[in-house]
Each structure stands twice: as C-alpha cells, then as structure tokens.
Chain A
C-alpha cells in the first residue's frame, strides 16, 4: 500500500492512576492502519481493547508515545481540536450504545451535526439523518425513542449516528456484544457495505465468528499486540444471512 496510514500509533502507552495503584492498560503499541482497511481488535477481558479504542477515537490521551490521525499529531491537540476531530473525522459506536434516552432515533442521529463546524441547515440535517437510518435499515422507526427499540435496533441507530457526519474512520467497541447471531450478521453486513464504500473500520470483538467478517485481526494481551494477521477465510455477511434464512425455512417446513 502506497498511501499514508489513517491511523499511525507509535509506542503508545496508557497508565490509569487510581489512588496509589497505577494500572498500565496499554504498554507500547505500534500499529498502522491504512485507508480502506477493516480491522478487528481482539483479546481477553482487560487486555486493553477499549482503552486503545478510546485513544484512537481521540476521546482520551495517551500517557506516552505518539498518535497521528490522517497525518495530524493528535497527542498535541487541545480539547476543542480533539472535539472537532471526533466530530468530523471519526464515527464512534460505543459498547453500550450510548444513545440519548427520551430522544427519538432521528434526533439522536441528527445530534453530531449540531456540533459540525460547517453549518448544516435544518432540512439537510433531517435528510442526512434519514439517509443514514435508511442505510442501517431503520428508516421506518425514525421517530421511536431508544426504549421503544430492541438492542439490535439501538445498535443500528448508534451506527447511523456515527456515520452522519461522513467520517472516513468508523470505530466500534463490541458492536455485536449483546446481540443474537442473526442480528450480529446483519450488523456485520452493514459494516461490510460501508467498508466497500471506502470507509476504514476498526472494531473490537471477542467473538472469533464476528472477526471473520473483517480483513485483519489484531490480538492484544496485557496491553501489547500478540498477533496481527490478515483474515484468511473471510465471510460474506449477505451470503451467510441468506444461508441462515434457508436453514430457518427448512426447520419450519419439517
């Protein structure tokens, strides 16, 4: 690959100071991710996956090392510039959805556009939010509130929200964490479609099955990279889904 990396981590460290115990959650990670990649980050619980994602997502600052995002040295930016980066360049799907309760799906999806440096008019906000909901197959539920939606549907709203400012990088922390297998495959289908459109995706998962829909797997242990391998036997979500449906059909017929 001749292009510059979207994400360039060089010897990144993160130490949490809690009282008198220091927790060394990330201990020197170097990683390059290029445009168009689809990466799964795996590892056991407590291995530092979420910590790493928060650093990549410009939500948190490393305590050591440097991080370039699109060629910008993120570790030197102030709070406001970090907020702008999160708004414009990155779409983040959180482990626990993190939707605003008592606020409709549409308004949740519109929210990041409120903070866009480029002014986006009200009608255009609505249009773009609806388009994103359409993309995740949830346009019909746009005026439902999170507590009226299933887990999978909430996850899709969260994905639509992450996409609405047209980021070049989509980060997802356990996007299929508490979903059944069919819904997981549907979500992975959305991700594969987005990836084909050119969006770089980095996601955390602890399910090997889910990781097989990506192109590259990075495994962490105790805050450092253990293995970093391309996915050999890649799955196609569309294909898997139709097979699953056929199987269900067969069960019903018998």
Chain B
C-alpha cells in the first residue's frame, strides 16, 4: 500500500508547482462555498430575528379575532365587527381545558396627559393574565389585580416609551396620568420589549383593566380579541379546536363570525419569505459549487495529460493503477477542500462585513460550515475521479513514450 502521508506530500508539491493555476482552480469552490455560507448566515439571521419577534408575543398563544365588518362591499380588517364579548372570554375560560391564562383585549388610541406633557398612545384593556400570556415582565411595581378588574379601578401599567415621554426625569411609579380626562394611577412599569414584527413600538402602550377601559374610556360592550395561553405546544391544536367549538355554539352562526389563530401558524406565515429566500440563495450557491467542480475536473484532466510521462515513470517502477488513482484523487480533493476552507473563511468575513454595514442580524450555523466542508470534499472526489481513473488506465510503455 502506498503511504497516504507520502501521497499528500506528492499532491502538495504538484499543486505548489502550479500555484497560480491551483488558486484559479480553487476560485470556483471558494466562491461557491463562500456564497453558500454568506447566504445561509444572512437568511438564518433574518429568520431567527423573525422567530424571536414572534416568540416575544408569548409562547403557545392562541388569539381569537372578532369577525370582519362588511358594509356595502367595504371590508374592514380583523376585529372590525363587534362579535366577541367578555362572556365569550369567560366561557372559554370555564369550558376549555388545559389553558394557563385568558385575557380579553380592548384597544383604543387616546391622548394621555401628565404634568403638562401629553402623548398619543395605545390604550389596552386587559385582564391581569396579560403579562403572563405575552411573556412580559414587570420592571417595577406590579400588574393590577382581579380586584381592580371587578372594581373598574383607575390604575395603569405603562410601557417604557410612554413614561420616557411623560416623565422624562422622574420615577413614574405612583404618579398619575389622565386618559380622556380621567386620572389613572401608575401601579406598574413594563420591561422594555422593543419593536414587533411589523415595526411597531411595543413599549408605546398603557394597559388598564378591561372593565375600566370598556366603561370609563370607550363605553363599549364588545372586545376586539381574546388572548389565550395553552399549557403546552402539543395541545395547542386541540385547544384551538375546543375554543372554536365553544364560540360556535355560543354565537350560533352558520358562518363563524370570528377567527382563531395560533402561534405556530403565525410563525410559519412570518418566516415564509425568509425561508423561500434561503432556498433560492441555496440553489444559486449550489450551482456555483457545481461550476467549481467542473473547473477542478477540467484542470485535473489537463494535469493528467501534462504529467503522462511522470505517470509512466511511476508505473515503470511499480506503482499500481490504484496508487496513481489515489494520487490524483488526493490532488483533486486537496484542491477542493482547501478551496472550501478558504471559502468558509471568506464567507464568514463577508457576513461580518454585511452585518456591520447594514446592522442585519446574522447567524452562521455550524451545521452549514460542516456541510460546506463535506460537500467540497465530495465535489473534489466526484470531479477528480474521472481524470484520476483516466490516469490510472494509462499503459506504462505508452506513457513513457509520450512527449
């Protein structure tokens, strides 16, 4: 058996002899692997960001929207028609098993005043379960209680943007703000959560008991939506079906006048674009890898022809066909593997540059780095095999006579 170390040495020497050509040959693989790594890093980063945003809405969340309002061909969005009630919420809570938390949601926008400053913000009416459902921590103070809901208490839990605007240099806890001229006492401060999927500032919010919202602020009898947290991801589909069942029975409508969505669906919808993007980029990158492989095959064929005499000499002193095959295969694999490693390095550098320049989040998955290594070695074997096989089939006498 021919020593593998010695074979690598021979291959290394042959490649170094034609440095420029070796580098140009590797270029195909370098570009291919580099673009795979960069493409995957950027799209994975984008997907991950979207997933994080969706996860920030809370875990295992099911949302019930009221039906859409239609008038003379004009169709409003979800929640535009008043169909859901507080009673619906209570029915879900008592009839559907395995729910951790339920909250009706009432939304409105209003001008909020405090100590001479004012700010237009979103006023949410919720139950005390809301922070648990949204997986949202209270930074200071506490969430209002069920007691506050029952008594239509004038208390509020406030997001960071609002306090920054209304109480620039003071501790807002315990201070009072006025919503439509009704004073609400600030009992809790929400942890900052940043922007959501749609670019809205989630911290620009004031949360009050839904009862206070419906009686004191807006005087309406319907809620915009109902938020539910299921006990686990496994039962989320079952819980969704149960909720639909309960509401259908209550509303007795032929066509359901509400929509139930769970978070998995939302996640899939939100990441669909970036997934399509990554498939597309992956396809383009694979094509460039194939082109790189063809380049290697081409150069290896030239190399075999150029070195016919060397092959003849090696065979004349006793190299078996297999020894020659292995020698040329190792050369091809070395070319593509070294190209692959350079490609990975350049891909990561390119990713860093892109992410520094655009502030896009990027993630380079290790699996893909491994896959890039393996596939460039495989490309080396595939594209090197035919030239190496051709070399190994040479007749020693013919090869020695070759000029």
Contacts and interface: CB of A to CB of B under 8 A. Distances in A.
Interface of A: 54, 57, 59-60, 79-80, 83-84, 86-88, 92, 94, 98-100, 102-103, 111-112, 114-117, 119, 161, 165
B317 to A, nearest CB: 4
Interface string B314-330: 11111111110000000
A108 to B, nearest CB: 9
B12 to A, nearest CB: 13
Contact of A87 (B318, B321, B397): B318
A80 B320 contact: yes
B397 A59 contact: yes
Contact of B313 (A88, A100, A116): A100
Interface of B: 1-3, 6, 13, 17, 309-310, 312-323, 396-397, 400
A99 B318 CA distance: 14
Given A92-B317, A165-B318, 17 more contacts: A54-B397, A79-B321, A83-B321, A84-B318, A84-B320, A88-B318, A94-B316, A98-B313, A98-B400, A100-B310, A100-B313, A102-B17, A112-B318, A114-B3, A114-B319, A115-B314, A115-B318
Contacts of A57: 316
Nearest 4 interchain pairs by C-beta:
A87-B318, A112-B317, A115-B318, A83-B320
Contact of B318 (A94, A102, A116, A119): A116
**Which of A57, A60, A79: most chain B CB closer than 10 A?**
A79
A94 B396 CA distance: 13
Contact of A111 (B312, B317, B396): B317
Contacts of A119: 1, 3
B310 to A, nearest CB: 6
Contacts of B17: 102
A87 B317 contact: yes
Contacts of B310: 100
Q: Is the interface of B mostly helix, strand, loop or mixed?
A: helix
B304 to A, nearest CB: 16
Contacts, number: 64
A45 to B, nearest CB: 16
A86 B318 contact: yes
A94 B400 contact: yes
B2 A86 contact: no
Nearest to A117: B1
Contact of A83 (B1, B3, B309, B319): B319
Contacts of A100: 310, 313
19 contacts: A54-B397, A57-B316, A83-B319, A84-B318, A86-B318, A87-B317, A92-B316, A98-B312, A98-B313, A98-B316, A100-B313, A103-B13, A112-B317, A112-B318, A114-B6, A114-B319, A115-B318, A119-B3, A165-B318
Contacts of B1: 117, 119
Contacts of A92: 316-317
Nearest to A51: B397
A117 B320 CA distance: 10
Contacts of A83: 315, 318-321
B2 A115 contact: yes
A170 B316 CA distance: 13
A114 B400 contact: no
Nearest to A121: B3
Contacts of A79: 320-321
B192 to A, nearest CB: 65
Contacts of A60: 397
A116 B312 CA distance: 17
Contacts of A94: 316, 400
Nearest to B396: A59
B323 A115 contact: yes
A11 B396 CA distance: 24
A117 B322 CA distance: 13
Contacts of A165: 318
Contact of A86 (B3, B6, B13, B317): B317
A51 to B, nearest CB: 10
Contacts of B312: 98
Contacts of A88: 318
B365 to A, nearest CB: 41
Nearest to B17: A102
A84 B319 CA distance: 8
A177 to B, nearest CB: 16
A86 B397 CA distance: 13
A99 B313 CA distance: 8
A49 B1 CA distance: 33
A87 B320 CA distance: 10
Contacts of B316: 57, 59, 86, 92, 94, 98
A101 to B, nearest CB: 9
B16 to A, nearest CB: 10
